[in-house]
Amino acid sequence: MNKYYSWLILAALIIVVAILPKPLVISPTASVIVTILLGIALVWVLVLTIRGHLIGRRVVFLFIGASLTLPFFMNFEMPIKVSPEVKILYDALAKLPPGSKVLAAFDYDPPSAPELQPQADAFMAYAFKHDLKVIIMGLWPQGPQQANMSIDKVLQYPEIRAKNPKYGVDYVNLGFQSGNEFVIQRMGSSFRGMFPRDIYNTDYDKIPLLNGVENFSNIDFVFNLSSGYPGTVEWVQIAVDRYGVKVGAGNTAVQAPSVYPYLSSRKLTGLAGGMSGAWQFEQATQQPGKASTYVLPQTFSHTVVIAFIIIGNAALMVSYRRSKRGEA
């Protein structure tokens, strides 16, 4: 009997998915109702638990699945508070006049892409929109490829397509250079020495954007996306400490705490940390992107986990009270 049930549910699901409109978006009112229903369901689980019916792990899984899936269809905006460290980053970028030259160092590889790619997209979109000239490089071999993926994506945005940024004039990708922090150090005397050719093998001197770009003194801002070594720490220690250029960074959530000290000593001009840093950056630059679609599911799933911790503790309290009553 049980077997048939699961097949029936599966069949029903397939039919529902097939007849659903694509893309599926539910109205703000309906979204609020779904959220409230989810909340009521959690309260119901709490009540059940207090009454002594412990729920199984599958119920937890169901709630996690629902809290990660449903928000994708919801059409209401979660107000996002931009943290001070992202605000500093945004302010520094906003101060740059059009035509400013920004060095973007992509120091990460695909495993960190879920967290850093949205930041990269938001940064590239912002730069193109505000006519900042972007010079891309990587201390990690796969960094420049990640940059290209981001550019390909951003160029699809209508407003940016209208601006039609040109390679070599509005942006350039210098590629990867091995040597870790020594690359930064030697860029202090000459960019050309470290990157004689760009990623497409064009000579440094034949690229219009790089005309007159000799070292850090010709760069207005450095934006570093980093997930480890070499990365933000090295950029701060060399580019900021020795050459006095401003550096802002986007980091993975795991790495962010290790660069907080630089933020408080004002060596680092702004920091976007992990997924939340990404959506705050999108919020600050007012261009919702991939990270912003993750805000709701992330918040929902987090709330659900916290709710279940509370439910678990409620169950514990109840069992305490029971055992005490038993003793008396």
Partner 1 sequence: MDGAVISTWLAALLTLGIMSFVYKDNLYYKICEAIFIGISAGYWFITYFWDSLYRIAWIGVVHEGRYVLLGGVVLGAMMLMRLFGKIGWIARWPLAFIVGATAGLKMMVYFTTNAMAQIHGTVDDTMVAFGGGDLYDLIGRLVILIGTVTGLIYFYFSKEHKGLFGGVAKVGTWFLMITFGASFGYTVMSRMSLLLGRIEFLLTDWLKLVK
Partner 2 sequence: MLALLRIAKSIVFISSLLFVISILPTHSVYSRDTSPSSSDLGPITVRAFDTDNDAGGSITVEWDDPGYERLSGFAGFLVWRTNTLTGTSDSVEVTPFGTRTYDDRSVSDDSTYSYSVAALVNGERLMSTPSMQVRSSKQWFDGRLTWVLILGLIICGAVIYFIESAKRGTKLFLRRIAGLEAIDEAVGRATEMGRPILFVAGIQDMDDVQTIAGLTILGSIARTVAEYDTKINMPVRASLVMTAARETIKHAYVTAGRPDAYNDDMVHYVTDEQFGFVAAVDGIMVRERPAACFFLGAFFAESLIMAETGNSIGAIQVAGTAMPAQLPFFVAACDYTLIGEELFAASAYLSGEPRQLGSLKGADVGKAIAMIVILVGVIATTIASAWNSESMLWIENLLRQMFSTG
Partner 3 sequence: MKREIPLIITFVAGVAFVLQYFIPHYPFNRFENIFSDWFAIVGAFAIWLGALSLMKLCLLNISKKSHDWPISLLIIISFLSIVIAGAIDGFHGLNSVPATSFRDPGTNFDWFYQNVYTPLSSTMFAILAFFVASASYRAFRARNTAATLLLVSAFFVMIGRVPLGDYLSGWLPERMQFSQWANWLMAFPNTAGQRAVMIGIALGTVSTSLRIILGIERSHLEG
Task: In angstroms, give the least distance from the CB of 152 to partner 2.
Answer: 29
Q: Segment near partner 1 (CB under 8 A), from 28-36, 170-178, 216-224, 272-280?
A: 272-280
Please tell me whether the peptide bond between 23 and the residue prior to it is cis, using omega within 30 degrees of 0.
Answer: yes
Q: Which does 130 bind (CB under 5 to 8 A by kind): partner 1, partner 2, partner 3, none?
A: none
Q: Which of 11, 254, 310, 316 binds partner 1 (CB under 8 A)?
A: 254
3-state secondary structure the chain: CHHHHHHHHHHHHHHHHHHCCCCCCECHHHHHHHHHHHHHHHHHHHHHHHCCCCCCHHHHHHHHHHHHHHHHHECCCCCCCCCHHHHHHHHHHHCCCCCCEEEEEEECCHHHHHHHHHHHHHHHHHHHHCCCEEEEEECCCCHHHHHHHHHHHHCCCHHHHHHCCCECCCEEEEEECCCCHHHHHHHCCCHHHHCCECCCCCEHHHCHHHCCCCCHHHCCEEEEEECCCCCHHHHHHHHHCCCCCCEEEEECCCCHHHHHHHHHCCCCCCEEEHHHHHHHHHHHCCCCCHHHHHHHHHHHHHHHHHHHHHHHHHHHHHHHHHHHHHHC
The 65-94 contact track toward partner 3, x by CB under 8 A, reads x--x---------xxxx-xx----------
Task: In angstroms, give the least distance from the CB of 239 to partner 2.
Answer: 10
Instruction: Using CB under 8 A, count the residues that bind partner 1.
Output: 26
Q: Segment near partner 3 (CB under 8 A), from 147-155, 188-196, 215-223, 299-307?
A: 299-307
Q: Which does 80 bind (CB under 5 to 8 A by kind): partner 2, partner 3, partner 1, none?
A: partner 3
**Going by C-beta distance under 8 Å and a sequence separation of 6 or more, which residues neighbour residue 289?**
118, 121, 122, 125, 282
Q: Please identify, using beta-carbon distances, which residue of 173 and 298 lies nearer to partner 1.
A: 298
Q: Please identify, using beta-carbon distances, which residue of 202 and 293 lies nearer to partner 1.
A: 293
- Interaction with partner 3 in 220-279: which residues (CB under 8 A)? 253, 257, 260, 276
Which residues in this chain contact partner 2 in the complex, by CB under 8 A? Answer: 57, 185-186, 188-190, 192-193, 212, 214-218, 242-245
Q: Which does 24 bind (CB under 5 to 8 A by kind): partner 3, partner 1, partner 2, none?
A: partner 1
277 binds partner 1 (CB under 8 A): no
Distance in angstroms (rounded) separating the CA atoms of residues 108 and 229 = 9
Q: Please identify, using beta-carbon distances, which residue of 130 and 192 lies nearer to partner 2.
A: 192
Structure tokens belonging to residue 93: 């970028």
Q: Please identify, using beta-carbon distances, which residue of 210 and 291 lies nearer to partner 1.
A: 291
Residue ranges that bind partner 3, judged by CB under 8 A: 57, 60-61, 63-65, 68, 78-81, 83-84, 253, 257, 260, 276, 295, 298-299, 301-306, 308-309, 311-313, 315-316
Q: Which residues bind partner 1 (CB under 8 A)?
A: 17, 20, 22-24, 58, 61, 64-65, 68-69, 72-73, 114-115, 253-254, 274-276, 294, 297-298, 301-302, 305
